[in-house]
C-alpha cells in the first residue's frame, strides 16, 4: 500500500513538473471544463501543445463569452477534434456553422492533418461572427464558409469526404445524409449532434442503425448526445 501511495504521489508530481517545464497553462473554457454536462467528476483541463493551439483555444474562450446561438459544448468539441485528428481527416463538411465554435474544434485537428473544413450556414449574421472568430484564431485559411440553404448548396460538394458533421435543421438530417453519403469515403465518419435533446428524427436513427453499410455508436448521451457512424469499407 505504501508503494502504491508513493507511486501515485510521484505521478502527480511528474505531471505537475512536466506542465511547468513546457510553460503551458490550461485554458479555461468555463464550467464544462470539469465536465458537469456529462456528470463526470474527472478534472480534464485543456493544455495547448503549442502557440497555434493556444490561439485557437483562447479564441474559443472569447467566443463563449459573446453571442453563442447554438454551439457544441466543450466536451462535444473535444470529441470532434479527437476524431478529426485520429483519422487524419483531409476534408470535413459541417452543416450548421453557427458562430464557429465547432469549426474551431475541427481546426485544432485540421491544422495538424493538413485538411480543410467546408461549413454551411444559412444565417448571414452568424456566418459573419464565425468568419471573425476563424480569423482571430488564425485558422481562416483552413475553413470555407458556404452561405445559403445547405439542402441546395451541398449538391455542389466534391468528395471524398472524411467527416460529415450534422448540426442544423435537426428534423432534416436524413435529407443531408441521403445527398452527401455517396461522397463520403469508405471508412469515413458521419457525426450527428443532438441525439438526445432535441429528440432526433426517428427516420434518421433508423437510417444509421438499420443499414448494414453503417456501424453506429451513440456517445455523450447524458448531455446533448452524439452519434458517430462509420461508413464501412
pLDDT per residue as tens digits for the range 168-181: 999 999 999 999 99
The Cα 162–Cα 87 span in angstroms is 8
If asked whether residues 128 and 166 sit together in one domain, one would say: yes
pLDDT given at position 6: 40
Shared-domain flag, residues 84 and 140: yes
Residue 167 is assigned to a structural domain of this protein: yes
pTM of whole model > 0.95?
no
- Position 46 scores a pLDDT of 93
Q: For residue 64, is it within any domain?
A: no
Comparing 23-27, 34-38, 175-179, 198-202, the range with the smallest average pLDDT is: 34-38
- How many domains, in total, are found in the chain? 2
Residue 111 maps to a domain? yes
Question: What's the confidence (pLDDT) of residue 68?
Answer: 66
The DSSP element (H or E) to which 3 belongs, if any, is helix 2-22
Residues 124 and 166 in one domain: yes
- pLDDT at residue number 33: 38
Based on the domain organization, do 171 and 110 belong to the same domain? yes
Average pLDDT of the residues of the chain: 88
Structural domain harbouring 6: 2-47
The pLDDT of 222-228, averaged and rounded, is 95
Question: What is the distance between the alpha carbons of residues 160 and 183, in angstroms, rounded to a whole number?
Answer: 5
**Claim to verify: residue 42 and residue 82 sit in the same structural domain:** no
In Å, how far are 152, 211, 226 from 232, measured between CA atoms?
26, 10, 19
Query: Sorting pLDDT into bands at 50, 70 and 90, what band is 65?
Result: confident
165 located within any domain: yes
What is d(CA 118, CA 113) in angstroms, rounded to the nearest whole number?
Answer: 15
**Are 129 and 22 within one domain?**
no
* pLDDT score recorded for residue 32: 46
Least confident of 8-17, 85-94, 132-141: 8-17
Q: Which of 76, 176, 159, 75 lies closest to 120, judged by CA?
A: 176
Asked, for residue 173, whether it belongs to a domain, the answer is yes
Q: Are residues 197 and 117 in the same domain?
A: yes
Tell me, yes or no, whether 28 and 139 share the same domain.
no
Q: Are 41 and 99 in a shared domain?
A: no
Q: Are strands 161-166 and 143-147 parallel, antiparallel or unpaired?
A: unpaired
Compute CA distances 162 → 71, 96, 197, whole Å.
Answer: 22, 17, 26
CATH label of the domain that carries residue 128: 3.40.50.150
Band (41; pLDDT cuts 50, 70, 90): low
Residue 29: its pLDDT value, please?
A: 80
- Can you tell me the mean pLDDT for 8-25? 48
Does residue 56 form part of some domain?
Answer: no
**Residue 65 located in a structural domain:** no
Residue 82 lies in a domain: yes
Q: What mean pLDDT do residues 216-224 have?
A: 95
Whether residues 131 and 213 fall in one domain: yes
Tell me: do 42 and 89 sit in the same domain: no
Same domain, 6 and 78: no
Strand partners, 216: 229
Q: For 208-229, what is the mean pLDDT?
A: 96
Amino acid at each position: 500500500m505504501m508503494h502504491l501511495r508513493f507511486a501515485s504521489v510521484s505521478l502527480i508530481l511528474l505531471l505537475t513538473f512536466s506542465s511547468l517545464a513546457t510553460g503551458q497553462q490550461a485554458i479555461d473554457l468555463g464550467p464544462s471544463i470539469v465536465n458537469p454536462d456529462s456528470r463526470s467528476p474527472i478534472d480534464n483541463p485543456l493544455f495547448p501543445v503549442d502557440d497555434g493551439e493556444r490561439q485557437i483555444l483562447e479564441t474559443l474562450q472569447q467566443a463563449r463569452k459573446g453571442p453563442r446561438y447554438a454551439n457544441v459544448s466543450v466536451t462535444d468539441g473535444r470529441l470532434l477534434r479527437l476524431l478529426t485528428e485520429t483519422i487524419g481527416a483531409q476534408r470535413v463538411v459541417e452543416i450548421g456553422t453557427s458562430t464557429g465554435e465547432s469549426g474551431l474544434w475541427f481546426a485544432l485537428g485540421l491544422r495538424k492533418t493538413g485538411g480543410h473544413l467546408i461549413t454551411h450556414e444559412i444565417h448571414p449574421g452568424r456566418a459573419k461572427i464565425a468568419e471573425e472568430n476563424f480569423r482571430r484564431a488564425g485558422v481562416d485559411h483552413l475553413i470555407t464558409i458556404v452561405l445559403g440553404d445547405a439542402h441546395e448548396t451541398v449538391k455542389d460538394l466534391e468528395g471524398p469526404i472524411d467527416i460529415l458533421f450534422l448540426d442544423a435543421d435537426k428534423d432534416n438530417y436524413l435529407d443531408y445524409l441521403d445527398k452527401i453519403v455517396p461522397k463520403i469515403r469508405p471508412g469515413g465518419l458521419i457525426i450527428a449532434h443532438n441525439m438526445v435533446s432535441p429528440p432526433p428524427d426517428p427516420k434518421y436513427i433508423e437510417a444509421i442503425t438499420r443499414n448494414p453499410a453503417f456501424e453506429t455508436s451513440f456517445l455523450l448521451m447524458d448531455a446533448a448526445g452524439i452519434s458517430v457512424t462509420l461508413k464501412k469499407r
